Structure 1
Amino acid sequence: MSSLLLARNGRRAISFIGVGRRGTGALPGVHPAPRRFIIDMSYSAHFMDFKGSSIPSSMKKLVVTKLSPNFKEAVCVQTVAVPTPGDAELLIRNRFVGINASDINYSAGRYDPSVKPPFDAGFEGIGEVVGLGLSASSRYTIGDTVAYFGSGAFAEYTVVAAKEVVPVPVVKPEFLTLLVSGATAYIALKRLGDLAKGETVLVTAAAGGTGQFAVQFAKEAGCHVIGTCSSNEKAGFLKSIGCDRPINYTAEDLAKTLRKEYPQGIDVVYESVGGSVLELSVNSLANKGRLIVIGFISGYQTASGIPPFKGGTLPVKLLQKSASIRGFFLPHFFSDYRDALSSMMQMFAKGKLVCEVDCGDLAQEGRFIGLESVFRAVDYLYAGKNLGKVVVEVAPPSVSNSKL
């Protein structure tokens, strides 16, 4: 293991030589001090390998090799060397990774057109620290359990800057749901929703990864919450987390239901579907209504990534109601991120927040286990089969054979 730490990726351990060696300018009669490392490298196996978890020399990861909204076409599995953490970095053995609708926006190169393939896929992971750099060891140690939000999560091992991880008490996929899905709902509603007690809030795709949190946060704010979903099972789940009026749009006409039951309109819409649902949401706004666009999944799989939207009369509709449309993209609100995570983790610890996870137990081919199952999980999400946040179990818990 020490040779791995010394040589991998061209990194070298810092060494100290007291005096030059003989034949290289050493003073006559003065024997050079023996070469020694500032860090006692005899402990390197323990520094990099927690309780016999046996870090391998290679690992699998998912890499975007071609820009395409077709995830299977854009991404492939590659076997590469396990990376070595730098001074302020952690090496994390991923246990679970989260699936997001925006994974295919990323594989299509829509977020940063200047980034060209190949690049690593995946946004969020949770696991154990199995290696770390010297300065990172001032805050973390081998065996710590952490979660993170950053690129390259679809891998068996990921190197992450120590300042970017979030300590978690245990490696549970429920904590993973908070990193992107929960944070999006929490910050968007807090910063852009301007929720007031007694207002009516509509959450589209309410039983999904982020919708479930929007329902709960709106309810906590004292609002009447409507949630759209695609099955009676999802409607039942929505009721269980406080949704006042679940609407199964496969069994009810959404437009007619909103007009009949909410003639005064909707005060706030948390919208992630786009297209015709976005049009309906605009038409359903109340006076001074706010519509928050957090995505438009109905268009992500198309070449443009944008679903058709009839917006010719949009200025008139907004003006007539003094209404507004507000866009939300999580990376623009990182100043709110830590506080949001802290609040949500406290709520979860107190039993005041449901973090529903869907690991594919009811999927046709079974639970999402192993990195290769990310492809199935993405298809599962886009088929609208998930209830809660879609999560893939990358690896089972490590079994220690250590006698230390």
Structure 2
Amino acid sequence: MGSSYRKIVCNGYTRNFRAAAEIVEVPRTSPAPGQVLIRNHFGGVNASDVNIAAGVYFSDGTFPFDLGCESIGEVIEVGEGISHLAVGDYVVSPSLGSAYAELIYRDALQVLKVPTCSPEVMTAVVCGSTASVGLNSVGQMGSGETVLITAAAGGVGSWCVQLAKLAGNHVIGTCSTEEKAVELRRLGCDRVIVYRNEDLGAVLSTEYPNGIDLVFEQVGEQTFDTCVDNIAQRGRIVICGFISEYTTGPKPVTSPRIYHKLLWKSAQLRAFLFSHWPDELPGHIVANLALVESGAVDPLVDRRVFSGLEQVVNAVEYLHAGGNSGKVVIRYP
């Protein structure tokens, strides 16, 4: 390997990811004491990449900063004072700035050793933890409930579908195409709503007149409003995101405040970022990795191949165009 490597950085806030992303070459150095140097094999593409580039969260205004979220790769050099990791070990790095770089330097205590290096294993850490923290810690999911997952065919959504089914629930999933619906049925979704073909509100009000016990909401706008209208008595709406407004910014609305709809049902809104549950994350990650290893969860990874840093922007735009079924991944040669 050469004396330098490349990564993608952001030099100014914008919701236009193509304008934000810049490939730069930086010198390769030896890892500091307590650090490991990792050669990435796969990087995770996330809808929130746009929010990070826009400075919506996870940025203190210092430029440039590294873009991307999670990655999985191989330790190629170990700094002094490290005994639990060795050259050749596979590790997942869940921290910001990991996905869009050929090499990354990380504190050895901030990466997780895993038995194999694959996109499926990588999904257990961020996608899986987002799903399990959201459903269990935040949503207090039980068994025998009716659970609605919006954007169910995405990386997080497909994890939610499977976790909700494993818990013994009736699972409804929304998606945009029949091709995605096929995947969701394969994963065990009881009722798939292709929203381009069916009206979400009409289906929920007709087929589920008692309402939805737990909603895992990722879309926003009209989808969110429909979820509120169809929540059950004592139901919970867990807000994981609102991808419909990521590239445009917040959209003003003029309507009665939401408590007019929630109070009479004793319903609740609960928003979360999984990183705000640091005390619970290790347990979630270990459990999710075990589910993948045992075959109880089949992580859905999108079939389209994006290779190298040059394809990162295309991959982010592909995700936001709704083309993916499952986790979108960057593969490093």
The structure 2 residue matched to 1:142, chosen from 87, 90, 97, is 87
Shift of the 178–216 alpha-carbon distance from structure 1 to 2, 3 Å rule, reads same
CA shift for structure 1 position 149: 0.6
More divergent stretch after superposition (332-341 vs 203-212): 332-341
Contact 1:298/1:307 (<8 A) preserved? no
Show structure 2 runs of 5+ residues with no match.
Answer: none
CA shift for structure 1 position 341: 0.9
Contact 1:147/1:166 (<8 A) preserved? yes
Matches within 5 A, 1:269-348: 269-302=215-248, 305-309=249-253, 312-348=256-292
Q: Distance in 2 between matches of 1:309 and 1:128?
A: 48
Q: Distance in 1 between matches of 2:185 and 2:331?
A: 28
TM-score by length of 2: 0.97
Q: Distance in 1 between matches of 2:3 and 2:315?
A: 27
CA shift for structure 1 position 83: 3.8
Name the structure 2 match of 1:29.
none
Look at both structures and tell me which one has the larger radius of gyration over its CA atoms.
1
AA matched with 2:92:
A
AA matched with 1:288:
R
Matches within 5 A, 1:162-181: 162-181=108-127
Q: Distance in 1 between matches of 2:28 and 2:293?
A: 34
SS of residue matched to 2:279: helix
The structure 1 residue matched to 2:315, chosen from 366, 377, 381, is 377
Show structure 1 runs of 5+ residues with no match.
Answer: 1-54, 361-366, 396-404
TM-score by length of 1: 0.80
Matches within 5 A, 1:231-270: 231-270=177-216
CA RMSD in angstroms comes to 1.2
The structure 1 residue matched to 2:96, chosen from 148, 151, 156, is 151
Question: % of aligned pairs identical?
Answer: 43
SS of residue matched to 1:141: coil
Q: Does 1:358 align with 2:302?
A: yes
Shift of the 311–349 alpha-carbon distance from structure 1 to 2, 3 Å rule, reads farther
Contact 1:74/1:107 (<8 A) preserved? yes
Matches within 5 A, 1:68-217: 68-112=14-58, 114-136=60-82, 138-153=83-98, 154-217=100-163
Name the structure 2 match of 1:42.
none
Q: Does 1:389 align with 2:293?
A: no
Q: Deviations over 1:350-401 (max 9, x none)?
A: 11001111152xxxxxx20111111110011000000000001022xxxxxx
Q: Distance in 1 between matches of 2:109 and 2:230?
A: 43
Contact 2:52/2:59 (<8 A) preserved? no
Q: Deviations over 1:166-207 (max 9, x none)?
A: 111111111111221111001111112122221101000000
Q: How many residues align?
A: 332
AA matched with 2:242:
F
Larger relative contact order, structure 1 or 2 (CA cutoff 8 Å, min sep 6): 2
